[in-house]
Structures are given as structure tokens and as C-alpha cells.
Amino acid sequence: MRVTVFCGSSPSSPFHLRTARHFGGILAGAGFTCVNGGGPGMMRALCEGAMEAGGQVHGVLLNAERYPPGHNAFTERVEFDELALRQKMLIDLGDAYVALPGGIGTMFEVLDVISRKLLGQIPADRPIILVDRVEFAALRVLLEDVVRRGFGYGSLHEAYTMVDAVGAAAVLLAEYRDR
């Protein structure tokens, strides 16, 4: 099963880098293929953790002048010049989706995959898991406000699950795979 992981590319705290590397190792140990954007920061740590654990890593890179160069911790890689094409490939390759903390790019990816799920463009049973309730608290408040103001449906919150740690995300992924 392929798990697309959205996470930060910017330099982040040592805690977040360790968490990403640890999660890569967890995914590989459970036999999941890790799919991600292949950039620096947490993306790199995630890929390296998966590779160190003997896992498969599919990098979907953005070939853009202003985007920091990536790395080579992949078993497969593909590059796109257009962000929209890269995003579509990240979603198309995933059987499940996990978001670790990140910046505006991660938020874009999360909102896009939730929107596609609500529109029926990806199967309704595919999990979207947001890891770290504290990091994603503002997003949750924003989405609650969207529903409260009548711009979204109550089912919006059923499209994703929030968990506190990568271990809980791994349990949900295994349950989905083994059902």
C-alpha cells in the first residue's frame, strides 16, 4: 500500500525532523511504500528514515527554480515543472494520505486532498490523517468556521482524522490495509 505523506520542506525543529525520520521508518517497517514531494527538511528526513529501514520511497519532485534542491533518498522518482501536475500525482499515487506539520504547501496539499475526497475524486474510504492536533488546531478551527458559516457541509470533518502522534497514524493505516 502506498502512503502519500505531506510535510514541511523548510528547515524545521530537530523534533519535527526526528518525527519525520521515525515515521519513515515506521512506514517501511510496516511494508508501506512512502510517497512524498521529495524536498528538503521533513520530506528528506521522512525519505531517509524509510530508506534506512529498507523501505520503498517514491519521490514526486517539483522542478522549479525557487524550490530548494532535493536529495536522492528514493527508490523511484519523477519530476514535474508544474505544481498542479505534481500535486495530482501525489494524490493519484496514494492509497492513503498522512499530513505531518508543515507550512503553506502542506496546508494546500491537505485542503486539496480533503476537497477531492468530498468531491468523490478519490474513494470515500481512503484515510486522510493529520498528525499532531496542536499543529493542525488552527486548520480545524478554520474548517469548523467554514461549516458554521454555511460554506461547507458537516461531513467535512468526516473526511479526515486527527491524531496526536505518528504511531497512532500507523495503527490507522494498518487497520485500513488489513480490513
Average pLDDT in the 159-173 region? 96
The pLDDT of residue 9 is above 90 = no
Mean pLDDT, the chain, integer: 91
pLDDT of residue 67: 57
Answer for the pair 98, 3: CB distance below 8 angstroms, yes or no: yes
> Can you tell me the distance from the alpha carbon of 96 to that of 33, in angstroms, rounded to the nearest whole number?
11
The pLDDT of residue 157 is above 70 = yes
pLDDT digits (tens, 9 = 90+) for 16-38: 999 999 999 999 999 999 999 98
Average pLDDT in the 150-155 region? 81
> Can you tell me the distance from the alpha carbon of 160 to that of 44, in angstroms, rounded to the nearest whole number?
25
CA 98 to chain centre: 4
pLDDT of residue 152: 82
The pLDDT of residue 71 is above 80 = no
The pLDDT of residue 65 is above 80 = no
Q: Does domain 2-178 have CATH number 3.40.140.10?
A: no
pLDDT over 70 for what percent of the chain?
A: 95
Between residues 83 and 6, the one the model is more confident about: 6
Q: What band does 178 get if pLDDT is binned at 50, 70 and 90?
A: very high
Amino acid at position 80, single letter: F
CA 97 to chain centre: 5
Cell 520511497 locates to 57
> Can you tell me the distance from the alpha carbon of 35 to that of 58, in angstroms, rounded to the nearest whole number?
5
